[in-house]
Structure 1
């Protein structure tokens, strides 16, 4: 096949949701229906023997939550599907935001009992800013939930886009009879624990079929009225509007019962876009260009604790990747020839020979690749939009055993480079390393990972800082004067970008008033490195 034909087979999407909406369960069921796995693990209690296929980190297995992003590749209906499972917990939103820069579509999972929740709204705002097409799956219809019409209204008000139902529930909770496929004019009858591929599902054709009325009574009558209402009031599905992020197709089901999963998987193949062009500072990069380019959107340390490895996740932006090919790191001009590149099915890795635009590949390395790095066959490219947000919480960190200081610094450097936490090194000599986070749970995960992966028992302590801003200035003399006067508040992050640490918004305002020639940035990509040893 040509590069264009291979690119046309790709679908790359992320699953997003509020915690506990059933995202990880749906991820597993999509793998199950695509034939990628044979048995779905359940996210269970601490001592459970099986866990979600997409949750590999020890703390995830203990808590039953996803705190890292997982990448899975599978084939379905002659398409190569790259599925990125994101952390649901809001404390790890920064990792999720970065993942959303690497996908072409998003699958939003909503708990039908709770509706659109705060974390979902934040993620939707990121998707809307990027005009990412969104497919919506309303989950848990086997429970007593909100009225589907209310859920549609809520989605539309929060998304600012039209919600177009592709299916509609007949009943809910104990009276849940199934979903009616509006476009195919047939009902898929529900029973708990559907067959793996849906081959044995019972179908009843026709909305006005008397068999549906006789079997499902009041639930059918109500669903019939609602379907007639939405057919009259809802807009027709417009694929171009969907691709522009102005419409979302809506599906109903129960992921834990494997119900409604088939329709979602088919929609991803039929509706989700193929890989599109990517914007670099230098030019727009087309996916079917002959030469390879890719960007590192995630780095994960210790995916295989036995090998102490670090894997850089690279979204292929253009062309064809071949194992062992000569690549240039645009940041520093260094060359590399990766030979042990892998593709993922959660914990399982397979050695990869070729990949195309839209695919996500893993390159094991020892700190050579950083978040945001661009790999090319020689051209210097810089892709934009990979976010690093200013942390809102700070803690100082010390090691309980002074003999483990080296291991502490190695561990924090690696965890900082993968984006699990932000690590700041104060310019003032002798200062303890500072950790910056968006949410409190990040500190707990880092302490846990330091102990289990690096054998370092770390002590977290309160810090007087509660905000950070990266800074730049056009005049080097102004920048030097500002840094000399504020040396006690200057720290460097893992890529040696200088940041100003403040204990209050008032302190930041004073700095802004005293140094009008200095610009302060809440995102690192808007800041920059500074002169001297950190240039």
Structure 2
């Protein structure tokens, strides 16, 4: 099978970087794949299985207590590791749809993605949503069809579903032989070798690579039955007739996905996926900003904050801003200009991440993710530069789908509650509104699970017990337009007006009818479901 490659224009200092995310529907095997990639990179020595007990349960990428208790990812983790002279920055994103905003903003900081699909279930709802986010930003995607050691759908059926549902050209670069208990391994279509899973799908299986001259090579007769060889030859013939050859340029443009098959649990196919990232995935890409595009080769340092995490160290009320370096060579101690405020910020203790673990970063290059400790100075969407007044674009707020009034169990802890809500709102997942009339806070979230996580974190991290009760509002919209006109709207509708954590005015609608009515009554104002971060 042929492959077309495209030369990279990146300079040597930028070339050995791959910054990528893993996207998947819950339970597709994302966390298991993450850990096996880290094992390959030498970053960990024992995978912590999410469903295991005790110490082994503590998956390195799922470091929050609620993640360990529930076996789900609810916040983005950053893990840096080296593999074959390339530095990989892996951003493990929440799989649950209630945390899709965190995932969306994380995808603004990556150059490529791995899409994990359950071989028995195919494309699921959250997979489709996350893929659309990648498509909006032309993020190239490698597909890993996981769990081939279990009962699986027909591979051609899965390929057709990816092509039809996601409107992508699919190019298999490996092909499975059997599935479930009959899973024998995969044939490498690019390098003509059989990757044999000795022992089938059983635990402790080993992988052997057998170099071949093609699917008719007699060496395969020693390890496969005649029926398996005939089926493989038939499948490969059909692939060559029906599927386009892998073209790297088309992949980099986001039009084609190379497809790998395997089992992350059995550590089969994982190395091939990582090799594919090293071989095909882009180096740091140019980033869109107001007025121009910032190229990674530029000398001056630029970067943007795509996430703020509160209380990574529970012993200190720390807040760490996750910053993607877009250009230049960052050095510890540099002074950077915060475009939103115009103020300078000296970065004396930048952090390189490994999930919750961290170490000082003496330097960083385009594509790297560093943590900047701060006390509320930096917010999601902030741009930092060596002096240029620019702002990176495409990192929005989203209108919440669920609004709830906060109920404080102990009125004496109102100050602590306010601090907790403001800290956690800085992370960009939960939104906090303060009504113009009334003393109760309103929180906005995308899904019910976020409320459970919020209540747990407030209690565990701030020692404050709070609950949530129904609010008289159905949705929220930011108000934009002439200031005088906004002031008149607020004066006439004070019972429906709140401020977000930045002080921006928000209209709190009780139902769709009221929202449509206010839009018709005030046609010169805009009521928006998203707000670009300042």
The TM-score by the shorter chain falls in which range?
over 0.9
C-alpha distance in 2 between matches for 1:352 and 1:213: 52
The answer to whether the 8 A contact 1:45-1:64 is kept is: no
SS of residue paired to 2:246:
coil
C-alpha distance in 1 between matches for 2:447 and 2:434: 20
Report the CA distance between 1:291 and its aligned residue.
Answer: 0.6
The residue number in structure 2 matching 1:464 is 472
Report the CA distance between 1:465 and its aligned residue.
Answer: 1.1
Report the CA distance between 1:235 and its aligned residue.
Answer: 0.8
Aligned 1:84-123 pairs, distance under 5 A: 84-123=91-130
The answer to whether the 8 A contact 2:49-2:56 is kept is: no
C-alpha distance in 2 between matches for 1:26 and 1:45: 15
Q: Does 1:418 align with 2:450?
A: no
Report the CA distance between 1:45 and its aligned residue.
Answer: 5.5
From 444, 452, 455, the equivalent of 2:463 is 455
Change in CA separation of 1:39 and 1:413 when aligned onto 2, cut-off 3 Å: same
C-alpha distance in 2 between matches for 1:175 and 1:213: 16
The residue number in structure 2 matching 1:60 is 67
The residue number in structure 1 matching 2:137 is 130
Change in CA separation of 1:472 and 1:7 when aligned onto 2, cut-off 3 Å: same
Report the CA distance between 1:349 and its aligned residue.
Answer: 0.7
The residue number in structure 2 matching 1:533 is none
From 209, 214, 217, the equivalent of 1:209 is 217
C-alpha distance in 2 between matches for 1:490 and 1:214: 75
Q: Does 1:39 align with 2:39?
A: no
The answer to whether the 8 A contact 1:393-1:467 is kept is: yes
The answer to whether the 8 A contact 1:420-1:446 is kept is: no
The answer to whether the 8 A contact 1:189-1:204 is kept is: no
Aligned 1:273-312 pairs, distance under 5 A: 273-312=282-321
From 446, 449, 453, the equivalent of 1:441 is 449
1:327-373 per-residue CA deviation (whole Å, 9 max, x = no partner) reads 11110011111111110111221110000111000011111100101
From 362, 377, 390, the equivalent of 1:368 is 377
Report the CA distance between 1:288 and its aligned residue.
Answer: 1.1
Q: Does 1:71 align with 2:78?
A: yes
Q: TM-score, normalised by structure 2?
A: 0.95
C-alpha distance in 2 between matches for 1:461 and 1:98: 28
The residue number in structure 2 matching 1:531 is none
Report the CA distance between 1:4 and its aligned residue.
Answer: 2.9
The answer to whether the 8 A contact 2:215-2:232 is kept is: no
1:49-76 per-residue CA deviation (whole Å, 9 max, x = no partner) reads 4321100000000000001000011111
SS of residue paired to 1:7:
coil
Change in CA separation of 1:49 and 1:75 when aligned onto 2, cut-off 3 Å: closer
SS of residue paired to 2:82:
strand
Report the CA distance between 1:388 and its aligned residue.
Answer: 1.3
Report the CA distance between 1:21 and its aligned residue.
Answer: 0.3
Report the CA distance between 1:204 and its aligned residue.
Answer: 5.0
Report the CA distance between 1:387 and its aligned residue.
Answer: 2.3
C-alpha distance in 2 between matches for 1:496 and 1:75: 43
C-alpha distance in 2 between matches for 1:331 and 1:486: 30
The residue number in structure 2 matching 1:358 is 367
Q: Does 1:14 align with 2:21?
A: yes
Report the CA distance between 1:280 and its aligned residue.
Answer: 0.8
1:178-208 per-residue CA deviation (whole Å, 9 max, x = no partner) reads 000011111111144568xx8x634252311
SS of residue paired to 2:291:
coil
The answer to whether the 8 A contact 2:193-2:209 is kept is: no
SS of residue paired to 1:119:
helix
C-alpha distance in 1 between matches for 2:53 and 2:175: 36
The residue number in structure 2 matching 1:154 is 161
C-alpha distance in 2 between matches for 1:28 and 1:455: 32
The residue number in structure 1 matching 2:239 is 230
- Number of matched pairs: 520
The residue number in structure 2 matching 1:406 is 415
Aligned 1:441-520 pairs, distance under 5 A: 441-473=449-481, 475-520=482-527
The residue number in structure 2 matching 1:185 is 192
C-alpha distance in 2 between matches for 1:47 and 1:75: 29
C-alpha distance in 2 between matches for 1:486 and 1:135: 50
SS of residue paired to 2:303:
strand
The answer to whether the 8 A contact 1:298-1:314 is kept is: yes
C-alpha distance in 1 between matches for 2:493 and 2:222: 77
Report the CA distance between 1:214 and its aligned residue.
Answer: 5.6
Give the CA RMSD over aligned residues: 1.6
Report the CA distance between 1:520 and its aligned residue.
Answer: 1.1
C-alpha distance in 2 between matches for 1:4 and 1:231: 36
The residue number in structure 2 matching 1:5 is 12
From 127, 130, 140, the equivalent of 2:147 is 140
Deviation larger for 372-381 or 136-145: 372-381
Q: Does 1:347 align with 2:346?
A: no
Q: TM-score, normalised by structure 1?
A: 0.95
C-alpha distance in 2 between matches for 1:364 and 1:388: 22
The residue number in structure 1 matching 2:4 is none
The residue number in structure 1 matching 2:391 is 382
Deviation larger for 490-499 or 203-212: 203-212
Report the CA distance between 1:213 and its aligned residue.
Answer: 4.3
The answer to whether the 8 A contact 1:44-1:51 is kept is: no
1:85-138 per-residue CA deviation (whole Å, 9 max, x = no partner) reads 000000000000000000011110000010000000001111111111000000
